Amino acid sequence: MVVHRKARDYRWEGVTELPYKEDDRALFRSVTRQVLFSDPAMQGELRYFEVAPGGFSTLERHAHMHAVLVLRGRGHCLVGDEVKQIELRDLITVPPMTWHQFRATAAEPLGFLCMVNAARDKPQLPSEKDLARLASNAKIAAFLRDEPEDSSL
Amino acid sequence: MVVHRKARDYRWEGVTELPYKEDDRALFRSVTRQVLFSDPAMQGELRYFEVAPGGFSTLERHAHMHAVLVLRGRGHCLVGDEVKQIELRDLITVPPMTWHQFRATAAEPLGFLCMVNAARDKPQLPSEKDLARLASNAKIAAFLRDEPEDSSL
């Protein structure tokens, strides 16, 4: 077991950085993932996601929860019907079966830690109907087209 | 469920900061704790510990693991027989039943996130015999008297 892994500019020794392939349906863009802690003796996992400027994480929902802490930069997130400006060290809780997405600004990367249960269900992607329902909320629609209303932050 | 909790200078909205009482046996000094995420639906918990300049966390061991990420400052840690300089964003894994302690420098606070299983055993404190065995290692002895060998960092 490796006791100590040093960090260099948000990349950790001995941790593979997994790029996400670009998605034709534009459900996510320019996200990398590093699994920081995952061990059979731990019931939680801790991952680091980094969204490049202008990128966004997958719009999804699932039964398991996300516990998120912003580690780098700032951006916006959608959680359920709420769009939030988020910045360094903010905490975001994603409750079960709640649509959520994280977006970087155009100016800088958004990096965040995410704790999840090691044993968890697979994410669900939104149907056309789900997307239409989400977009019926003006604030969410603005978020989804990368024009969050409070982008002055 | 509160979705978004903002951070102000390493203190989080709606999170109680729990001071540790000073300990006569000098097993810990000047540590605060904030539980960032704890929910019945999550099998892990995420806490933030902050050790004031010159302070140190409890010297202890237990069957559950710790998954640590340095969020503020730098310092040193003991994990088993290893003394490590640690700095911003380093990862530290504390294996089961392994003596461990975190120390701030005299100059600045040391803050770290710690993921644990929500269901976990209580920590064990070292006996006099345990302390003597640890102190028989010169590097550990220096760490325990707050003079880690590589303190030039």
Which residue in A71, A80, A91 is closest to B5 by CB distance? A91
Name which of A15-29, A73-87, A112-126, B130-144 the model is least confident about.
A15-29
Side-chain half-sphere exposure of A79, counting CA atoms within 13 A: 20
- pLDDT attached to residue B68: 98
Q: Which residues contact B68 (CB under 8 A, 6 or more apart)?
A: B77, B91, B92, B93, B94, B102, B112, B113, B114, B115
Summary mean pLDDT of chain B: 92
Q: What percentage of chain B reaches a pLDDT higher than 70? A: 93
What average pLDDT does the segment B86-108 reach? 97
Compute CA distances A11 → A48, A73, A82, B69, whole Å.
9, 15, 31, 13
pLDDT of residue A152: 44
* Mean per-residue pLDDT, B31-35: 93
pLDDT at A22: 64
Of B99 and A21, more confident: B99
How far apart, in whole angstroms, are the C-alpha atoms of residue B4 and residue A150? 15
CB contact under 8 A, B117 and A42: yes
In this prediction, residue B23 carries a pLDDT of 63
Which segments within B11-106 are labelled E, that is strand? 11-12, 18-19, 29-37, 44-56, 66-72, 75-79, 82-86, 91-94, 100-104
pLDDT at B149: 74
Tell whether the model's pLDDT for residue B7 goes beyond 80: yes
A45 touching chain B per CB within 8 A: yes
Q: What is the mean pLDDT of residues B142-147?
A: 92
Residue A90 has its nearest CB partner, among B7, B89, B119, at B7
Mean pLDDT score, B27-31: 81
The verdict on pTM exceeding 0.90 is yes
Going by pLDDT thresholds of 50, 70 and 90, the confidence category of residue A96 is very high
Task: Answer whether A44 touches B (CB < 8 Å).
Answer: yes
ipTM: 0.92
Q: Which residue in A114, A116, A134, A144 is the catalytic one?
A: A114
Q: Does A115 touch chain B (CB under 8 A)?
A: yes
pLDDT score of B85 more than 80: yes
Question: Given an 8 Å threshold on Cβ–Cβ distance, is A93 in contact with B64?
Answer: no
Do residue B92 and residue A117 have CB atoms under 8 angstroms apart?
A: no
A-B C-beta contacts closer than 8 Å:
137
